[in-house]
Amino acid sequence: MSPEPDHRLLGPPHSTDSSRGNLVVQSRTGGKEAVLKVYRPRHGPLGEGLADFSQRCIEGKRGARPRRRRDTERESLEVWRVHGFDAPAVLAGEAPDWAKPHPVLWMEYLPGRTLFEYLEDPRASREERIMVLGSFAESCARRHRTAVATGETRLVQEHPSLRHVMVSGSRLATFDLENAYAAAFPVRIAVAFELSSTLRSMLRLGEGAFESFLAAYAAPEILRESLGVFFAPSLRWRIYRWLETSRRGASSKTAAMRRLAGWLGGGGPAL
């Protein structure tokens, strides 16, 4: 299966086996520049079953099968936009023959660079980067507040990455929302996971990105609650932190959350 010649491949398959993993192509639908995402299995039948079981029954997520990932992505993109958070618009369109029988989703094409590429680009001035980082932090804070207030777990990124935010003109739009926490998953825990991962990315960027992000993250109660969640004294969290620190050391999420605790205790906002 290969896309037609007028389709530009954006996302190569994750797997070295070229029949597996999503295909993401740039194309057109309804006269608009668009992205077609084709959801293919990531593993063989047994692996798919296990991944799906693990997501739903152990990890508290919505499911790993292609159709489920497509439905989660479509719903999540819509939920983000309904609550005023930027994400590509879902577009109407049929599945092209070459994509069949896999589930597909058409969405708005976002020209630009990912936030990761932007922040790593030495041509952007420090001031520009701090401004963009600030607006990213501000929208994360609003989104986390909204997620906690509404209990909407689809507003939380299950796989947060600066590579999944497009700097497109004046927009900062998030994409790749095909995995999400289940509706029953505690939203505060989901937020704490996302925050710890984003703060880890900030630590890795260096150059004061961590402090710039926090200075603009205008929801101090979410920071405090997330610390409470992350450093809960339960055995489960102790094991999680221990595993995570032994794998990643100084650039772990745990290290990033410790640094957050220091920031709040020192120069951070009064809580």
Ligand X SMILES: Nc1ncnc2c1ncn2[C@@H]1O[C@H](COP(=O)(O)OP(=O)(O)O)[C@@H](O)[C@H]1O
Point out which residues bind ligand X (CB under 6 A).
10-11, 22, 24, 35, 37, 88, 107-110, 164, 166, 175-176, 178
Does residue 178 touch Mg ion according to CB under 5 A? Answer: no
Q: Which is nearer to ligand X, 37 or 143 (CB)?
A: 37
Angle (CA) 124 128 133, round 5°: 110
Residue 109 interacting entry, from Mg ion, ligand X, none, C-beta within 5 to 8 Å by type = ligand X
Cβ 53 to Mg ion, closest distance in Å? 23
Please work out the total of residues on this chain that contact Mg ion, with binding judged by CB under 5 A: 1
* Closest alpha carbon to 145 in 137, 133, 173: 137
Shortest separation between residue 173's beta carbon and ligand X, angstroms: 7
Choices 90-98, 99-107, 168-176, 202-210; region in contact with Mg ion by CB under 5 A:
168-176
Between CA 72 and CA 42 the distance in angstroms is 16
Burial of 76 (0-12, 13-18, 19+ CB in 10 A): buried
Cα–Cα distance for residue pair 267/200, rounded to 1 Å: 19
Q: How far is the CB of 14 from Mg ion (least distance, A)?
A: 8
**Smaller CB distance to ligand X: residue 35 or 216?**
35
SS3 (DSSP) at 21: coil
CB of 45 to ligand X, least distance (A): 20
Q: CA 231 to CA 198: how far, in whole Å?
A: 17
Residue 176 as a binder of Mg ion (CB under 5 A): the answer is yes
Smaller CB separation from ligand X, 33 or 221: 33
- Could you say which of ligand X, Mg ion, none residue 10 binds, taking C-beta under 5 to 8 angstroms by partner kind? ligand X
| Residue partners of 137: CB distance under 8 A and separation at least 6 | 212, 213, 214, 215, 216, 217
CB closer to ligand X out of 35 and 260: 35
CB of 164 to Mg ion, least distance (A): 6
Which lies closer to Mg ion via its Cβ, residue 158 or residue 176?
A: 176
Beta strands in the chain (DSSP E): 8-11, 23-29, 32-38, 90-91, 104-108, 113-114, 165-168, 171-174
Bridge partners, 197 (sequence order):
none
Distance set, CA 150 to CA 83, 144, 154, 195, 217 (Å): 10, 10, 11, 18, 19
158 counts as binding Mg ion under rule CB under 5 A: no
User: Whole-number minimum distance, CB 151 to ligand X, in Å?
Assistant: 26
Q: Rounded to an integer, what distance in angstroms lies between the CA atom of residue 36 and that of residue 88?
A: 12
Residue 28 vs 224, nearer CB to ligand X: 28
Residues 198 and 196: their CA atoms lie apart, in Å, by 6
List the single partner that 88 binds among ligand X, Mg ion, none, CB under 5 to 8 Å by kind.
ligand X
Angle at 79 between CA 77 and CA 80, to 5 degrees: 65
The region of 40-48, 171-179, 199-207, 229-237 touching Mg ion under the rule CB under 5 A is: 171-179
The residue among 11 and 134 lying less far from ligand X, judged by its C-beta, is 11
Classified as helix, coil or strand, 125 is coil
Q: Which residues bind Mg ion (CB under 5 A)?
A: 176
